């Protein structure tokens, strides 16, 4: 039995990495997927791959830091498939491990816009749809172990992911307990994705702090997708406001 049959799911950052793996698994499990990413060429490739194996997928070019793009993304899901049942806020960027003294306003504003403000605005738009549906909906925020500890990223990245965890708990405590929208987060550790290619000029101090935390296992995007499937499905119907750490035990010691 497919776990997401007749569910409509939006996945941001779906052009590669964890977002791609999540979109593919959701489609395999019967979801009607809306794939969002700023890289439309990558998105179209993923959509084609999903459709070739019988899945349902639609691509929409989205800059998650642009509210008009977010509204377009939500509207595409509802207009194409009639409902919006699952939102996965996966899109995110890193910050070259820049410390507080090293991070300028441009870097800070960009990282917060993508990693925190974007998911906030996407969640706000999605909740307005989900709350008016009989079965409500589910929001999954892809955070990071950087949202639980201070040395798994630079100042802007760590602050944004801590904020995303806080946003998750607030949605859960309000719309999850008093409304119809469950909200949970995933905190991945090291995962083999293209995001590491954006680390072009790492801060010496910030990178040293990462090394001091010790090296952890590197997971596969598909392993994070499996966690997202659990949180999106009815298997997790009594799970709300939690953060599932998926880091191979990196932060357990």
Residue 218 lies in a domain: yes
Residue 2 lies in a domain: no
Give Cα 114 distance to the centre of its chain.
11
Domain that holds residue 44: 8-246
Q: What is the pTM of this model?
A: 0.96
**For the chain, what is the domain count?**
1
Give the model confidence (pLDDT) of 89-113 as tens digits.
999 999 999 999 999 999 999 999 9
Residue 187 lies in a domain: yes
Q: Is 175 annotated in the active site?
A: no
**Confidence category of residue 67, pLDDT binned at 50, 70, 90:** very high
Give the model confidence (pLDDT) of 69-86 as tens digits.
999 999 999 999 999 999
Q: What is the pLDDT of residue 210?
A: 81
Percent with pLDDT over 90 in the chain? 89
Residue 184 lies in a domain: yes
Q: Looking at residue 36, which CATH number applies to its domain?
A: 3.40.50.720
For the residues 2-20, what does the mean pLDDT come to? 98
DSSP 8-state class, residue 191: E
Quick one: how many helices (H) and strands (E) in the chain?
Answer: 8, 9
Q: Could you please report the per-residue DSSP string of 76-100? A: HHHHHHS---EEEE------TT--T
Residue 27 lies in a domain: yes
Give the model confidence (pLDDT) of 127-152 as tens digits.
999 999 999 999 999 999 999 999 89
Residue 39 lies in a domain: yes
Residue 3 lies in a domain: no
From 81, 157, 175, 207, the catalytic residue: 157
Residue 251 lies in a domain: no
Q: What is the pLDDT of residue 214?
A: 82
């Amino acid at each position: 039995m497919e776990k997401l049959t007749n569910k409509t799911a939006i996945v941001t950052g779906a052009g590669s990495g964890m977002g791609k793996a999540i979109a593919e698994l959701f489609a395999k499990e019967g979801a009607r997927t809306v794939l969002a990413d700023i890289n439309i060429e990558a998105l179209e490739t993923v959509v084609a791959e999903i459709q070739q194996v019988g899945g349902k997928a639609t691509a929409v070019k989205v800059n998650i830091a642009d509210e008009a793009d977010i509204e377009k993304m939500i509207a595409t899901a509802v207009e194409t498939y009639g409902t919006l049942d699952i939102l996965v806020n996966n899109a995110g960027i890193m910050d070259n491990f820049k410390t507080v003294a090293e991070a300028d306003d441009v870097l800070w504003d960009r990282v917060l816009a993508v990693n925190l403000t974007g998911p906030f605005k996407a969640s706000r738009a999605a909740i307005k749809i989900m709350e008016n549906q009989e079965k409500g909906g589910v929001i999954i925020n892809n955070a990071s172990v950087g949202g639980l500890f201070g040395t798994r990223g630079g100042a802007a990245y760590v602050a944004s992911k801590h904020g995303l965890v806080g946003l998750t708990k607030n949605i859960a405590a309000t719309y999850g307990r008093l409304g119809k929208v469950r909200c949970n987060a995933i905190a991945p550790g090291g995962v083999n994705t293209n995001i590491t290619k954006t680390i072009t000029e790492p801060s010496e101090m910030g990178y040293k702090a990462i090394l001091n935390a010790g090296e952890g296992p590197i997971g596969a995007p598909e392993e994070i997708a499996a966690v997202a499937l659990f949180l999106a499905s009815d298997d997790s119907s009594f799970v709300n406001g939690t953060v599932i750490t998926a880091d191979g035990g990196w932060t357990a010691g």
